[in-house]
Structure 1
Amino acid sequence: MDTDDRAGRPGDDRDDLRRQVLDLVDPLISRFSPGRGRLRLGFNTAHYDNAAAELEAFARPLWGLAPLAAGGGSFDHWELWRTGLAAGTDPEHPDYWGAAFDRNQRLVETAALGLTLALAPEQIWDPLTGRQRDTVAAWLRHAVTVEPNDNNWLFFPVMVGLGLDRVGVSHDHDVNTARLDRLEEFDLGRGWYTDGPKWQRDYYIPFAMHYYGLIYAALGDDEARAGRFRERAAAFAQDFQHWFTSEGVAVPFGRSLTYRFAQSAFWGALAFAGVEALPWEVTKGHLLRNLRWWADRPIRDTSGLLTIGYGYPQPHMAEQYNAPGSPYWAMKAFLPLALPAEHPFWAAKEADAPPLPDVSTQPEAGVALMRCEEGRHVVLLSAGQHAPWARHGAAKYAKFAYSTRFGFSVPAGTFGLEQGAFDSTLALSEDGLHWRPCELPHDPSASDGVLYARWTPWDDVEIETWLVALPPWHVRVHRIRTGRALRTAEGAFAVGREQPPTRVDTGPGLARLDSPHGLCVIEDLFGRQEGTFVTALPGTNVLAPHTTIPTLTGDLPPGEHLLACAVIGLEAARGGGGGWPEPPVWDSVEPLLNRAPTGVRTSQEG
């Protein structure tokens, strides 16, 4: 591979990651405001004002630049960020960011500024004049006093405090101690946290709660607390490794997916804090494989800027808090660049992903992860998670399955199955036009590869759902009690359709599709529903812009009913050879349901 081909692409050493940081930052250099205090990357549609959005774009590249500098890496444009920091914190300057206030976006971005002061003061602080230092210190000291949201935001003023300590600026340590105490109240055991008093257990646990905790463990002065942060992170690593395929692909799940390779930042944070949760060569492999996978995705525009989306530019799936600079939180993955070359993380030779059990049930998150095709494909089964306040929250948390190969889809509307893009969920309708999927599951449980939840799409409709992990298949069972007549549509995975399928099969009780994009089958274990293919609207799936969803449909009169189907998705298409895979039979599935707190009666209600 020549030098040009390697540019911006991680390999197996520090220099490769250094080059990737520079490659990601280079397109930003021409986007600074005249006063250098703001980066203008595009039109802001987030809920916060333009000044905060342009501060965000200014600050987030520092997640990579600060470790680069701390580890001795060269960067020719520190003057831009140094001048911009002085301008943005100066109330008399046109680029002034405005003061941070309670639960305001500016507070989010102070964390990167604090880390930069802590890791690279010689680049961002030491060359400032006395007046510039005074304005920067005053702005950051004020940020420590404002009220964060009661979740991972509590870490932001803590990060500021670490930076102020490094450059000798006094501030209120007691208020940050109280915040750290509150953060520890979110500990669930086995290394899991909640992100505040909410149900979500998503990538905010590794790339926020653990990430900041590990930075504190490395830079803070409370050794007892640092020890607890390290112990929890070491425990969490045992579960989190199941979220990645043997080739480094992470399961797309939850909100804020536009931060992309921030999903692997946890592995580098372990190294930064000196936590050998897994052998160093294994930890290193988890980080580098994920970065290599992302380097091959079309996630940058023609000028080289990171786009909003996941597997491709996809503004439709963005959050209400995503501005043009938001994707640069991905730079968190470069934290281990702060470590010297002789650190055991860098000295280790990258190892392949270790063999892992086929099923990992993680009750703290309400999920079970299945490793299929020798670990090249991971499917996350989910029951009990919900985020009604998030954009497309039901699709991001409450679908039944999420796949490293097939992703998941967000709706373009609720009128018709094509708009709804109901992959990996059960949707119901009274008129066949307006559909309701699973949105707010209740009473969740997860045990030995069996998940359970209850949901009520109408006041007189109650559904109990069981998900059973039987890799490479999973089985979905629904007991439906309805006071009204309903139509049902249950989707398998969404399969890309850029290339035509090699074979398809639909009919009573089944929908099968085999294509260069993968194989997907959904079969009704009782044979009552009808198989069909739904052509979802473009831009709904997070990995493939155009998809087809094998789907079972049916009609239910008022009463009690039992539905059961088996779903499989394979990365490798079979191309017509070897027949279709055989699904599990009901008699083998029913005994497994007793692992859930509520079992299913043996009768197969009509």
Structure 2
Amino acid sequence: MTYDPVSANPLAGNPLKTRADVERALRDLFQPLLPYFSEGGARVRLDGAAAHFDRAAADLEGFARPLWGLTPLSAGGAEFDHWELYRRGLANGTDPEHPEYWGTVNGTDQRQVELAAIGFTLKMLPLLVWEPLPQKAKDNLAAYLLHARKHDFADNNWKFFRILVDLGLEECGVEFDRSYTDRYLEELDGFYLGDGWYRDGNIRRIDHYIPFAMHFYGLIYARLARGDAQRVSDYKERARLFAQDIQHWFDEDGGTLAFGRSLTYRFACGGFWGALAFADVEALPWGVVKGHFLRHLRWWSKLPIAHGNGVLSIGYGYPNLFMSESYNSAGSPYWALKAFLPLALPEDHPFWQAEELPADFGTEPVPLKHPGMVMQHTAGNVVALSSGQQNWQMRAGTEKYAKFVYSSRYAFSVEVDERAYHSGAFDGALALSDDGRHYRVRETNEVAQIAGSSLYSRWKPWRDVSIDTWLVPAGDWHIRVHRIDTPRALHTTEGGFAIARADQNADHTEAEPGRALARSRTDLSVIVDLSPGLSRDGRAHAALPNTNLIASKTLVPQLHGEIPPGTTLLVTAAMALPAGTAADTALGEVPAAPDVAAFEALIAREGIDVSAILVPERF
């Protein structure tokens, strides 16, 4: 019998319909970690892979991150058998004389991240976690937290970590300098853009850190803070506004838009829905919020996201280090347990009592001006046309932020060899090469604007090559227009959506001038050249393995062609749908090439800068 990796997923087979199902899911996720706790309880080391921070900090990460789920579990009245283990770990990890000491914070440090979960636990469960500690352990734990909070935290969502530590210290009666807290609360307000949206620091990116960090922590603060009524009111109102937009980053089946960094945190992306419930913010009807929350967990239950021992892997839809960040240790994925915050609520809370309602998105495109996206809901999928953001700090940051199109069902691919142009996946992207070996894609924009449901950007793959790109939805399709000004001939490759590839070449592909198609048992993906005056060659490309975030082997329809020196207009239509009658019908309804002059007039008349582009570039 062959091994089925999906069965190793602790969520597999769980119907995830009720509060009891969600509680079971949390326990099933935690149980595989128990053999990896150190003798003194302070460290959890799951494998030998490294992050950029030291091993002690990584072991603290493995210890602390499960608390995001375990703390709500006990706060909601459930029994948990291992608080003595956690108390022992807290005592030993903060004791400088103990061999499992976590190490001293001496600057911006990963330990500061993990201490947020400890502060949250001290706030929520002082009778279980703080009061039973001997006085020496209390003194050491307090001293450790007080020392760590004196250092600067990173200039982004990290500022909330000091605030969560302070909530815990306050609950335990430990004196601290409140001005540190107030300053960070004010600085976090400086990241607010309006309409419920934040920026994750002063950088050109607006990603999942807005729901699963900025709003998640803000809603915890709104529920737990003493006083500060105006800020509590602001956080709740911002979350109400945000819910109207962020729901469109989810599809009807519970999948979320694969976009940006830290996607190894997986169902943390659904933490926002649980945080609304925790803070009693009915931003959408409770049945709608509950539906988004439960469908998201069910979506993840069907993927091979764990190793054979049940420990969550680094990766997204399967174990994959190619897409990971330099700050991902083996314990990093357990930020996913943020999704279990609603377990702090009793069974009779309106969130749990509500009847789960299905998603009802409609078919009209939804423009989101702050992230610079136009959302398209199609069967089992949500597509985001993206004006393009910027992240040069992360591995594969270009693929995570600057493609033209992202998706929940088809995710995106990361490139694994920057010196193998003809092997690139380039799904949702336009790649250009002047030597046939190296390549350039969009990494950043000089201009990024949105007008209605149309997006425009100007970008330069080289200093002497300029490209204007327009993106527009067209039913199940979308259209991309690229006007390229180049002083030399270039070769171009443009990709559609990547779909899962079967073994033994069992899928159907077509490649001809101006068109490429890939059809599998489950999906259809196609790209069509609408360019005036030239025709690119189609290719159904078998991408290198483990490049796509959801499917470990994929097919990507591509268009290839040379462009001469001067100005060239490339026009592309692309779509992907689940296999079936609707996909076959859409295949016969290729949209016509648009009027580029009309696009230019629309942008000139109605175009506004997307929020991310307004941040000055930092090198």
TM-score, structure 2 length as denominator? Answer: 0.93
Query: Residues 155 and 212 of structure 1 are in contact (CA less than 8 Å); yes or no, is this contact kept in structure 2?
Result: yes
Q: Which range is displaced more, 306-315 or 399-408?
A: 399-408
Query: Residues 245 and 377 of structure 1 are in contact (CA less than 8 Å); yes or no, is this contact kept in structure 2?
Result: yes
Is 1:304–2:304 an aligned residue pair?
A: no
Rate the CA distance shift 1:196–1:575 in 2: closer, same or farther, 3 A.
Answer: closer
How far did 1:384 drift? 2.7
Query: Residues 445 and 597 of structure 1 are in contact (CA less than 8 Å); yes or no, is this contact kept in structure 2?
Result: no
User: Residue 175 of structure 1 aligns to a residue in which SS?
Assistant: helix
Query: Residues 463 and 480 of structure 1 are in contact (CA less than 8 Å); yes or no, is this contact kept in structure 2?
Result: yes
Query: Residues 12 and 288 of structure 1 are in contact (CA less than 8 Å); yes or no, is this contact kept in structure 2?
Result: yes
Distance in 2, Cα, partners of 1:187 & 1:295: 34
Query: Residues 414 and 436 of structure 1 are in contact (CA less than 8 Å); yes or no, is this contact kept in structure 2?
Result: no
1:104 paired residue among 83, 100, 109: 109
Query: 1:163 — aligned with what?
Result: 168
Query: Residues 450 and 593 of structure 1 are in contact (CA less than 8 Å); yes or no, is this contact kept in structure 2?
Result: no
Is 1:433–2:437 an aligned residue pair?
A: yes
Unpaired segments ≥5 residues, structure 1: 601-606
1:445 corresponds to which letter in structure 2?
A: Q
2:347 corresponds to which letter in structure 1?
A: A
1:365 corresponds to which letter in structure 2?
A: P
Q: Which range is displaced more, 316-325 or 585-594?
A: 585-594
Is 1:422–2:429 an aligned residue pair?
A: no
How far did 1:576 drift? 9.9
Query: Residues 242 and 356 of structure 1 are in contact (CA less than 8 Å); yes or no, is this contact kept in structure 2?
Result: no
Query: 1:603 — aligned with what?
Result: none
Is 1:456–2:460 an aligned residue pair?
A: yes
Distance in 1, Cα, partners of 2:583 & 2:471: 29
How far did 1:6 drift? 8.0
How far did 1:358 drift? 2.4
Query: 2:571 — aligned with what?
Result: 564
User: Residue 440 of structure 2 aligns to a residue in which SS?
Assistant: strand
Higher relative contact order (CA 8 A, sep 6+): 2
1:38 paired residue among 19, 43, 65: 43
How far did 1:33 drift? 1.1
Unpaired segments ≥5 residues, structure 2: 1-8, 608-619
Query: 1:333 — aligned with what?
Result: 339
2:163 corresponds to which letter in structure 1?
A: V
How far did 1:316 drift? 1.0
How far did 1:541 drift? 0.4
Rate the CA distance shift 1:13–1:137 in 2: closer, same or farther, 3 A.
Answer: same
1:26 paired residue among 20, 31, 47: 31
Rate the CA distance shift 1:546–1:168 in 2: closer, same or farther, 3 A.
Answer: same
Distance in 1, Cα, partners of 2:144 & 2:509: 62
1:309 corresponds to which letter in structure 2?
A: G
Query: Residues 427 and 436 of structure 1 are in contact (CA less than 8 Å); yes or no, is this contact kept in structure 2?
Result: yes
How far did 1:418 drift? 5.2
1:583 paired residue among 590, 593, 602: 590
1:552 paired residue among 559, 565, 578: 559
Aligned residues: 595
Query: Residues 220 and 278 of structure 2 are in contact (CA less than 8 Å); yes or no, is this contact kept in structure 1?
Result: yes
What does 1:219-298 correspond to in 2, within 5 Å? 219-221=224-226, 222-298=228-304
Is 1:364–2:373 an aligned residue pair?
A: no
How far did 1:295 drift? 1.2
1:37 corresponds to which letter in structure 2?
A: A
Query: 2:536 — aligned with what?
Result: 529
Please give the per-residue CA displacement for 1:122-175, whole angstroms capped at 9, x wherever unaligned.
221111111111111111111221100111000001000111111111111111
User: Residue 436 of structure 1 aligns to a residue in which SS?
Assistant: coil
Query: Residues 10 and 28 of structure 2 are in contact (CA less than 8 Å); yes or no, is this contact kept in structure 1?
Result: no
User: Residue 158 of structure 2 aligns to a residue in which SS?
Assistant: helix
Query: 1:344 — aligned with what?
Result: 350
Query: Residues 514 and 573 of structure 1 are in contact (CA less than 8 Å); yes or no, is this contact kept in structure 2?
Result: no
Rate the CA distance shift 1:418–1:598 in 2: closer, same or farther, 3 A.
Answer: farther
Q: Which range is displaced more, 4-13 or 518-527?
A: 4-13
User: Residue 523 of structure 1 aligns to a residue in which SS?
Assistant: strand
How far did 1:447 drift? 2.3
2:555 corresponds to which letter in structure 1?
A: T
User: Residue 199 of structure 1 aligns to a residue in which SS?
Assistant: coil
1:81 paired residue among 63, 81, 86: 86
2:22 corresponds to which letter in structure 1?
A: L
Query: Residues 501 and 507 of structure 2 are in contact (CA less than 8 Å); yes or no, is this contact kept in structure 1?
Result: no
User: Residue 485 of structure 2 aligns to a residue in which SS?
Assistant: strand
The alignment-based identity, stated in percent, is: 49
Rate the CA distance shift 1:10–1:168 in 2: closer, same or farther, 3 A.
Answer: farther
Query: 1:542 — aligned with what?
Result: 549
Distance in 1, Cα, partners of 2:584 & 2:468: 37
Distance in 2, Cα, partners of 1:576 & 1:321: 40
Q: Which range is displaced more, 585-594 or 190-199?
A: 585-594
